[in-house]
Amino acid sequence: MKIINLISGPRNLSTALMYSFSRRPDTTVIDEPFYAHYLSTTGIDHPGRYETLKFMSSDIDEVLSDIFSKQKCEVLFLKNMAHHHQQMKLDFLENMTNLFLVRNPHQLIASFAQVIENPTLQDIGLEKSWELFNIVKRQNPIVLDSAEILKDPKGLLKKLCKKLHIKFYDEMLSWKKGGIKEDGPWAKFWYKNVHNSNGFTKQKTSSRELPKNCQSLYIESLKYYDKLSSNSITV
């Protein structure tokens, strides 16, 4: 079984990429398996916190045991947030193919601030992504920039599948509007755009202005984005 661990920040096209992989006949997807652990260990109050903690285990050892026990599928795709990799031993990453997804922090922060008004560097995951990238650097991890996906979804996904040593399927380019059964209970708070889409399309919200209270966060996070995106696949 190949385990693809998508390490992303929020509002990065990560859910669309999960939907894309869910369309593969050989792939099982899991939506943010570390989310309850993150909420439990940090005490942070996110929309849907109660439903998430009730829905899934917050015991990271239990979560990882469940992930590695799924031997019946050929490919297992984990959609994870970088900042959810908190207060845990990270040696399990050695047994996964780690895939990093980034987005220009101006667009990321402007979108995220519509749900969480005063985001922090931890919230957006770029610093944590850079930290994790360096931990698994000897694997030559793959980096994707969401802007490159939107330029040419088919071309980029073909390149990605080749690097992952898996077959590309045209079905990965589209999905039905609405959610998928693998969506976590937080979907109603975060997945509106992808639920209204049937493929990789640029959202009107991508040109949203950056809130004034987020200017310093943008400047602080840009250096991590630049470092990661310099390693990204291009079309």
pLDDT in tens, 7-36: 999 888 999 999 999 999 999 999 999 999
State residue 203's pLDDT score: 64
Q: Find the largest Cα–Cα distance for the chain.
A: 49
List, for residues 34-62, the tens digit of each pLDDT value.
Answer: 999 999 999 999 889 999 999 999 999 99
What does the alpha-carbon distance between residue 134 and residue 128 come to, in Å, rounded to a whole number? 10
Interval 95-114 mean pLDDT: 92
State residue 68's pLDDT score: 96
pLDDT above 90 as % of the chain = 80
Query: Is the confidence at residue 149, as pLDDT, over 90?
Result: yes
DSSP letters, 169-221, are -GGGGB--SS--TT--TTHHHH-HHHHT-SB----GGGGPPPPGGGHHHHHHH
Interval 155-168 mean pLDDT: 97
Query: Is the confidence at residue 210, as pLDDT, over 70?
Result: yes
Is-contact 217 121, C-beta < 8 A?
yes
Interval 187-199 mean pLDDT: 91
Handedness of CA 100, 193, 187, 49 (dihedral sign): positive
- Domain ranges, ordered by start, for the chain: 2-229
Query: What's the pLDDT band for 190 if we cut at 50, 70, 90?
Result: confident
75-81 and 2-8 as β-strands: parallel, antiparallel, unpaired? parallel
Is-contact 78 3, C-beta < 8 A?
yes
Residue 200: closest CA among 2, 10, 14, 8: 14
Query: Is the confidence at residue 206, as pLDDT, over 70?
Result: no
Strands (DSSP E) along 84-199, which ranges? 97-102, 142-145
What does the alpha-carbon distance between residue 124 and residue 101 come to, in Å, rounded to a whole number? 12
Query: Is the confidence at residue 226, as pLDDT, over 60?
Result: yes
Interval 143-157 mean pLDDT: 95
What does the alpha-carbon distance between residue 94 and residue 92 come to, in Å, rounded to a whole number? 5
Q: Looking at domain 2-229, which CATH architecture does it have?
A: 3-Layer(aba) Sandwich (3.40)
For 170, the token pair is 């045209």
Query: Is the confidence at residue 205, as pLDDT, over 60?
Result: no
Interval 214-235 mean pLDDT: 94
What does the alpha-carbon distance between residue 58 and residue 60 come to, in Å, rounded to a whole number? 6
